[in-house]
Structure 1
């Protein structure tokens, strides 16, 4: 059957980090595979149009002023109203982030006559459950989340957290993030040189790349320290090291200062937000994920699809993405010596093998096409179960 899906992602394009970019890519691919998809998001800027098509994806924006608490209340009121008015126009609701939007939609599932699934974005101290427990009205929020028809867990760690919190195991579906393996692919030598020229990176350096929001969760301070340690111990005749970080956020200036303090200010390049992020991967020799917590890192998926040797912290999702022999490049979160050792490993003669193995694994198991197909199958299964419940409830009356 042709599925009509509503995708809810309060922060969405044009402002987007990894989760929002993943939501857009997945929505477009499910459309390509036959679903009818409409995105509901927040209208944070009154200059943004209320509705538009972004890359062929229909997007409707609901009022969401940037006012603490009040802005959320206004947005949720508009969301509930929209879902009620359009009940019958869609078969399933898919929410990104296990937050207030997911709880509000789950509470309305019988009223709107459609099941609600939600993808939890992260695990650990920065995860969805941890955030829900600290939120105003946390008890009601968690009660709403427990009413979801399905929870999509990106990793075993996320699934375990939700089971431990009391969410029924049979309603948890483990589906990873996906990556466009045509857009993110190994670069030729000519493409690498051209990308470095466009991004202002040194032509002959060994470039280590980090990608993500410049926030505490991403651990870029530890990456700067690790690269500084490597630079000190590098052989005199080896290519100079350069660190490139793509992304923006509140810690940009403190991170610049840290690079100067560690003696690698001139070797560190803060690229800001890059629209064509594949250019950054093509310019790099290796990729580092220094996060303290993740769900399943989109940046790590993109780097692996690009065939880069990887060094990554052992957080949620990386264990699934980097089993043996890739696990030799994993480090404990927050450990500068461990991250430096992982970087040294991926920059060694083992690097090309690590990169090739990474690309092969992503193409085989984490392509966007395969993940979208699994998501559509989950939609079908959830809709069947929901309609079966409705039929039984009607018969019992």
Structure 2
């Protein structure tokens, strides 16, 4: 395992070598793998790289579990039927009592709902919220004020949604999502040429791309509207799936840019 005091090449920061490594569990019971799960996996990798004992508690039938195990990350099985799964909550409590974590980090709405079961079983319980819609006003104050010790929001918009549900702003810390700048580095010239050739792009074509769920909150319609008045040499590649795919395809038709817009569906790896 890496030295906790090793130099961090990515950030240019040194980790305190006198600090005791933490035992950290990330809780994410979702089965699909989207941006949130990518963040969870990336955070776990970095904690391990820094010398901490970082593990995941997730659905054994989920893609996060599969990918994490493939990377050698220790995972504990937790299946949740819904946000009020009492049996699931007791299973979580059993895992936490057995493993003795310092920090338990809840990453999704269903995970947040399990936080009350974790009281007294870790030094700190943290919830991170990534969605900018307002949570339930009846339960949000209890979950984010009493069930956990700290709340992180990935943006000011998410923090505003939480405050609109009754969570005091001073309770929330905004921590933007991170990106692995080594993995998502600009392509080399040979890589760029290969990719453009695979997409059938002429030398004069200007390519614009986006990767993400095709949902309202992502704002793909603004991209299509911006593409409409652009020169014919500009083409757009939209990768991802979601409930708005058909609507966005129709919008591209109405704007007269369907021949310059390509919907690629879900692609792996995203890079």
Which SS does the other structure have where 1:173 is aligned? Answer: strand
Note the C-alpha offset of 1:268. Answer: 1.1
Q: Does 1:30 align with 2:47?
A: yes
Change beyond 3 A, Cα 1:165–1:74: closer
Matched residues in 2 for 1:48 and 1:243: separation? Answer: 29
Task: Determine the structure 1 residue equivalent to 2:207.
Answer: 207
Which of 70, 74, 78 is 1:58 aligned to?
74
Distance 1:248 1:214, change over 3 A: same
Residue aligning to 2:252 = 259
Q: Which structure has greater helix proportion?
A: 1
Q: Equivalent residue of 2:75, what SS? A: strand
How far the C-alpha of 1:173 sits from its partner, in A, is 2.9
Segment of structure 1 superposing worse, 150-159 or 74-83: 74-83
SS in 2 for 1:152: strand
Local SS of the residue matching 1:53: helix
1:72 and 2:82 matched: yes
Q: TM-score, normalised by structure 1?
A: 0.56
Residue 182 of structure 2 corresponds to 182
Shift in alpha-carbon separation, 1:8–1:201, aligned structure 2, 3 A: farther
1:1-397 mapped onto 2 (5 Å cutoff): 1-11=20-30, 15-43=32-60, 53-64=69-80, 71-72=81-82, 75=85, 77-87=87-97, 89=99, 90-97=101-108, 99-106=109-116, 108-110=118-120, 112-123=121-132, 127=133, 130=134, 132-133=135-136, 139-140=138-139, 142-147=141-146, 148-163=148-163, 165-168=165-168, 171-198=171-198, 200-204=199-203, 205-230=205-230, 234=231, 240-278=233-271
Compared with structure 1, are the counterparts of its residues 52 and 121 closer, same or farther at alpha carbon in structure 2 (3 Å cutoff)? closer
SS in 2 for 1:276: coil
Provide Cα deviations, 1:117-151, integer angstroms capped at 9, x if missing partner. Answer: 0111033xxx2xx1x22xxxx62454123221011
CA RMSD in angstroms comes to 2.9
The answer to whether the 8 A contact 2:83-2:113 is kept is: no
List gaps (5 residues or longer) in structure 1. Answer: 65-70, 279-397
- Give the number of aligned pairs: 249
Runs of 4+ with >6 A deviation: 47-52
Which secondary structure does the structure 2 equivalent of 1:180 belong to? Answer: coil
Give me the whole-angstrom Cα distance separating, in 2, the residues matched to 1:259 and 1:30. 43
- Rounded to whole Å, the distance in 2 between the matches of 1:254 and 1:51 is 32
Unaligned runs of 5+ in 2: 1-19
Is the Cα contact below 8 Å between 2:36 and 2:130 reproduced in 1?
A: yes
| Rounded Cα–Cα distance in structure 1 between residues aligned with 2:238 and 2:138 | 38
Q: Deviations over 1:83-134 (max 9, x none)?
A: 234415212110113x242132145312x244210111033xxx2xx1x22x
- Separation (CA, whole Å) in 2 of partners of 1:43 and 1:115: 25
C-alpha displacement of 1:56? 2.2
Deviation at 1:165, TM superposition (A): 4.7
